[in-house]
Structure 1
């Protein structure tokens, strides 16, 4: 990650393999979702290779990188306290991660969708300890954090 503090921009270099550049490395590093911490210079990035990465935006350095799901991470959000990250995966799970301990503290698995897609979207209410978890078959669950 390249960080330009003066212009407040971040460039994340990720190469995506395609049929036109099959020799290009690191297709698995492609980001699929991003959340920025509400008060700290921290971005949390979900990747297609099921990895979760936290980047210190002030220094442009990786803080941690964790295996997050058994399939691509399709959604990421940070709760209102700024202490927890929620991820939704194409494996049908919603996971809650403690930023301080850098580990999963809770997991919720949704049933397979009637459409065959198990991708999960997550959203956190910034004022309350509520997490909304949605799936492609229009089911939404509210979880208390």
Structure 2
């Protein structure tokens, strides 16, 4: 009952994953779908059912049409940019390039993609107030 966020890493298991989520988690629970390689149907179901669900978008957008479709269909305010290095591209230093790719795909600026996805991550893990208080301390 700690109400901690759930991080899901599943491959080739959209139906099973959705079944487990539906039978174990309330709608308001925070769910992070890490390194998602599934279909747009799962994406749409998860976004509709779980208002606190976010998706990790990785460098797979450079080599997978499926990853491109997911990035195109996932709202910017429900995504984070991620790396699964050294197993999946990109490395952490490549995140700005990933942000440029997402910005190009969504018709946004790179700065907006970086700002929004950072805020999504901070909100998801409850770090927004932590970072705000740190900024104020140095003022």
The question of a shared fold, defined as TM-score above 0.5 by the shorter chain, is answered with no
More relative contact order, 1 or 2 (CA 8 Å, 6+ apart): 2
TM-score, normalization by structure 2: 0.24
Q: Which protein has the bigger helix share?
A: 2
TM-score, normalization by structure 1: 0.24
Q: Which protein has the bigger strand share?
A: 1
